[in-house]
Amino acid sequence: MTIDRWIADNQLTEKWPFWTRANVGEVLPEPPSPLGWDLVWEGGTLPGWYDCAVERLGYDDVGMNPKRPEVAGMFGGYAYLCATGIRLFGVRTPGMTAADIDMAYFGDHPDVPPYVPEDWHESEIGTAKLAKWLAWVMGTMEQDELEADRQLSLEARASRPDLTAAGDAELLARAKSYEPTIRRLFNQHINQSGAASVGPGVIGAVCAAMEQPTLAMRLFAGLGGVDSAAPSYAMWELSRAVKGSAALTELFDTGHAGLTERLAASEHRDAVTFTEALAGFVAEFGSRGPNEWDIHADTWETNPDLVLAAVDRMRLADDDRSPLAENAAREAEREQLSATVTEALAADPETQGQFQAALASAKVFVPGRERSKTSIIKVIHEVRMAVWELGRRAAARGDIEHPRDLCMLFLDEVEPYVAGEMAAIGVTVADRQRHHDWLRTLEPPFIINGSVPPNDQWPAKGAQSVEVAASGQVLVGNPGCPGVYRGRARVVLDPSDPTALQPGDILVAPMTDPAWTPLFVTAGAVVVDVGAALSHAIIVSRELGIPCVVSARDATRMIPDGAEIEVDGNTGTVTVL
For 437-501, the DSSP string reads HHHTTB---SEEES----GGGSPBTTTS--PPPPTT-EEE-EEEE--EEEEEEEE-S-TT--TT-
Query: Nearest CA to 194 among 570, 543, 547, 532?
Result: 532
Picking from 439, 419, 420, the residue whose alpha carbon sits closest to that of residue 431 is: 439
Listed in order, strand segments (DSSP E) in 36-142 are 72-75, 78-82
Q: How many whole angstroms from its chain centre is CA 263?
A: 30
- pLDDT at residue 450 above 90? yes
pLDDT computed for residue 534 by the predictor: 65
Q: Which pLDDT band holds residue 1 (cuts at 50, 70, 90)?
A: low
> Higher confidence at residue 544 or residue 568?
568
DSSP-derived secondary structure for 110-130? TTPPPP---GGG--HHHHHHH
Pick the more confident residue, 336 or 551.
336
In tens, the pLDDT along 460-482 reads 987 878 899 999 999 998 888 88
* DSSP designation for 18: E
What is the per-residue pLDDT for 328? 86
- Each residue's pLDDT tens digit, 123-166: 999 999 999 999 999 999 999 999 999 999 999 999 999 999 99
Distance from the first to the final alpha carbon of the chain: 43
Quote the pLDDT of residue 529.
Answer: 87
Given a cut of 70, whether residue 532 has pLDDT beyond it is: no
Cβ contacts of 535 within 8 Å, gap of 6 or more? 23, 26, 480, 511, 512, 528, 550
Coil/strand/helix, residue 171: helix
- Which pLDDT score is estimated for 293? 96
pLDDT of residue 413: 97
Fold classification of 474-576 is Glucose Oxidase; domain 1 (3.50.30)
Do residues 330 and 544 lie in contact, with contact meaning Cβ atoms separated by under 8 Å? yes
Mean pLDDT across the stretch 264-292?
96
Q: Report helix, strand or coil for 528.
A: strand
pLDDT at res. 559:
96
414 close to 296: Cβ distance less than 8 angstroms: no
CA 320/CA 322 separation, integer angstroms: 5
Strand bridging mode 564-568 / 573-576? antiparallel
* pLDDT of the residue at 377: 97
CA separation for the pair 427, 400 (Å, rounded): 9
Q: What is the mean pLDDT of residues 187-211?
A: 92
Rounded Cα–Cα distance for residues 542 and 532 (Å): 14
- As a whole-number percent, the residues of the chain with pLDDT over 90 amount to 76
- Domain spans of the chain, in order of start: 1-140+444-464, 141-177+211-423, 474-576
Query: How far apart (Å, rounded) are the C-alpha atoms in residues 572 and 478?
Result: 4
* pTM for this model (two decimals): 0.94
Q: Measured between alpha carbons, how far is 12 from 454 in angstroms, rounded to an integer? A: 13
Residue 108 has pLDDT above 80, yes or no: no
- The alpha carbon torsion through 72, 77, 78, 83 (nearest 10 deg) reads -40
Report whether 34 contacts 409 (CB < 8 A).
yes
Q: Are 307 and 235 in contact (CB under 8 A)?
A: yes
Mean pLDDT of the residues in the chain: 93
Beta strand segments in 382-427, E: none
Residue 317 clears pLDDT 80, i.e. is over it? yes
Q: What contacts 24+ positions apart, CB below 8 Å, involve 114-122?
A: 115/87, 117/91, 120/61, 120/62, 121/87, 121/88, 121/91, 121/92, 122/91, 122/92
Count CB-CB contacts under 10 A for residue 344. Answer: 14
pLDDT surpassing 90 at residue 229: no
Q: Which residues contact 4 (CB under 8 A, 6 or more apart)?
A: 428, 431, 432
Q: Which residues contact 81 (CB under 8 A, 6 or more apart)?
A: 19, 20, 21, 22, 23, 24, 71, 72
378-391 pLDDT, tens digit each: 999 999 999 999 99
Looking at this protein, which amino acid is placed at residue 154?
L
Of 14-23, 321-330, 376-385, 552-561, which has the strongest mean pLDDT?
376-385
Determine the Cα–Cα distance for residues 98 and 167; give it in Å rounded to an integer: 52
Say yes or no to pLDDT of 453 above 80.
yes
Please report the pLDDT score of residue 541 as a whole number.
Answer: 83
Q: Identify the weakest region by mean pLDDT among 65-69, 325-329, 519-523.
A: 325-329
The pLDDT score that the predictor gives to residue 533 is: 63
